[in-house]
Amino acid sequence: MIESYIRRRLEDKSILLMTHIVIGYPNLDASYKIVEKMVNAGVDIMELQIPFSEPIADGPVILKANQKSLLNGTTVKKCFEFADAITEKFSIPFLFMSYYNILFKYGIERFAKKMVAVGIKGAIVPDLPPEEGNEYVEAMRKHKLDPVFIFTPTTPDKRMSYLESFGRGFIYCIARRGVTGAETSFTEQLKDYLLRCRNATKLPLALGFGVKSGSDIQFLKGKVDIAVVGSETIRLVDEKGVDATEDFILSLRQ
């Protein structure tokens, strides 16, 4: 279970680091190298995004990566094969992140069984609310996988409690309204929001959307359990190449 893993890691660290890649971007070989460099640099958990043509929660950086991966010919089958290879090599937990259409077309039960077969521990499906996701939630629990649900700054307290009742592993807190990759203000307002999140669940909290630097992570210590870095690593690969990712992750840890 991801939650127990997180609790154990927090005995030695004040905050964990989760990163995000789009499988097949810039290509499958490069994706593998990025994972390797991130794990070597001390990443604790990683999201593997199955590319989708309309990633509605993602900003321009991750949208471009999705489009490029699809143009490269990345398929769901190739994503499962990729996941199988990296979970065999690396011991940290990996989750899938994608959109409901991918799971629906593949078949929910079949998708969950395949996740287990390739060593994936959970999933984040941002466009699937629990009201419409009973089959997904049941399949995940049946196969001892963690469905991770999302809080936002506009989520009412009552809704947070409702979402929490379906979630497992951790809760993903979105730092602000909008899509990935834009600026986030790490201020008292964010602190107040995270306190609301903490009061709504006993699960560990992860925060993403706008985490870009070591100072952001320092701000989040004591407020959340996991800092999530996504668009910034993809932007770095665009600008400086795959090899730059390891030094960047190390810099976040300092």
> In CATH, what number is assigned to the domain containing residue 85?
3.20.20.70
Residues serving a catalytic function are 47, 58
Nearest by Cα to 179 from 26, 21, 62, 48: 62
Range of the domain at 88: 2-253
| Buried/exposed code over 131-144 (b: 16+ C-beta within 10 A; e: otherwise) | eebeebbebbeeee
Q: Give strand pairing partners of 206.
A: 172, 226
**Residues 6+ away with beta carbon under 8 Å from 179:** 56, 57, 58, 59
Lowest-confidence range among 21-25, 73-77, 158-162, 182-186? 182-186
Please write the tens of the pLDDT for every residue from 131-182. 999 999 999 999 999 999 999 999 999 999 999 999 999 999 998 644 443 4
Q: How many domains does the chain have?
A: 1
The predicted pLDDT at position 163 comes to 96
Please write the tens of the pLDDT for every residue from 203-248. 999 998 878 888 889 989 999 999 999 888 888 898 999 999 999 9
